[in-house]
Amino acid sequence: MTAAHQSPAIANPAQPLNVIVATDCGSTTTKAILIEKVGNEYRQTYRGEAPTTVEAPFEDVTRGVLNAIAEIEELSGRTILDGDRIITPNHATQGDPKRGVDIYVSTSSAGGGLQMMVTGVVQNMTGESAQRAALGAGAIVIDVLASNDGRLPYEKIERIRTMRPDMILMSGGTDGGAVTHVVEMAEYIAAADPRPRFGSTYRLPLVYAGNTDARPQIKTILGEKTALDFADNIRPVLERENLTPARNKIHDLFLEHVMQQAPGYKKLIEMAGAPIMPTPAAVGVIMETIAKREGINLIGVDIGGATTDVFSVFNGLFNRTVSANLGMSYSISNVLAEAGLDNIMRWVPFTIDEQTLRNRIKNKMVRPTTIPQSLDELQIEHAIAREALRLALIHHKSLATGLKGVQQERTISDVFEQRTSGKTLIDLLKLDLIVGSGGILSHAPRRIQSMLMMVDAYEPLGVTTLSVDSIFMMPHLGVLSTVNEQAATDVFVRDCMVYLGTCIAPIGQGKDGERCADYEVALPDGRIEKGTLAFGDLKLFSLTRDQQATLTLQPAKQVDLGEGPGQSFARTAKGGVVGLMLDGRGRPLQLPTEQAARVAMLTRWYQAVGLYPAGS
Binding interface with other proteins (CB under 8 A): 27, 49-51, 54-57, 71, 110-112, 153-154, 157-158, 179-180, 183-184, 187-188, 190-193, 195, 200, 217, 305-306, 325, 330-331, 333-334, 336-338, 354-356, 358-363, 365-375, 377-378, 443, 445-446, 613
Which CB atom, from 79 or from 180, has the smaller least distance to other proteins?
180
Specify whether the CB–CB gap between 448 and 578 falls below 8 A: yes
Minimum distance from residue 236 beta carbon to other proteins (Å) = 21
Which CB atom, from 217 or from 544, has the smaller least distance to other proteins?
217
Which CB atom, from 57 or from 83, has the smaller least distance to other proteins?
57
Angle at the Cα of 436 from the Cα atoms of 507 and 486, rounded to 5 degrees: 120
| Secondary structure element (H or E) that encloses residue 319, with its range | strand 317-323
Which CB atom, from 17 or from 339, has the smaller least distance to other proteins?
339
Minimum distance from residue 262 beta carbon to other proteins (Å) = 11
Which CB atom, from 163 or from 400, has the smaller least distance to other proteins?
163
Sheet holding 103-108, edge to edge: 41-51, 29-38, 19-25, 103-108, 277-278
Specify whether the CB–CB gap between 183 and 218 falls below 8 A: yes
Minimum distance from residue 218 beta carbon to other proteins (Å) = 10
- Residue 555 CB-half CA count within 13 A: 27
- Pairing, β 528-534 against β 515-522: antiparallel
Q: Which residues pair with 401 in a beta bridge?
A: 424
Minimum distance from residue 456 beta carbon to other proteins (Å) = 19
Which CB atom, from 370 or from 590, has the smaller least distance to other proteins?
370
Strand extents, DSSP E, 57-102? 81-82, 85-86
Minimum distance from residue 572 beta carbon to other proteins (Å) = 33
Minimum distance from residue 362 beta carbon to other proteins (Å) = 4
Angle at the Cα of 261 from the Cα atoms of 218 and 249, rounded to 5 degrees: 40
DSSP structural state of residue 536: T
Output the 3-class SS for 570-589.
EEEEECCCCEEEEECCCECC
Minimum distance from residue 73 beta carbon to other proteins (Å) = 13
| Secondary structure element (H or E) that encloses residue 247, with its range | helix 244-253
Neighbours of 351 (CB within 10 A): 10
Instruction: For helices 474-481 and 279-294, give the axis angle rounded to 10 degrees.
Output: 80
Specify whether the CB–CB gap between 52 and 29 falls below 8 A: yes
Minimum distance from residue 305 beta carbon to other proteins (Å) = 8
Which CB atom, from 157 or from 500, has the smaller least distance to other proteins?
157
Which CB atom, from 372 or from 422, has the smaller least distance to other proteins?
372
Which CB atom, from 153 or from 564, has the smaller least distance to other proteins?
153
Minimum distance from residue 307 beta carbon to other proteins (Å) = 10
Query: How would DSSP label each residue in 123-138?
Result: IIIIIHHHHHHHHHTT
The runs of H, that is alpha helices, within 472-574 are 474-481, 485-491
- Separation between Cα atoms, residue 149 and residue 126, nearest integer Å: 12
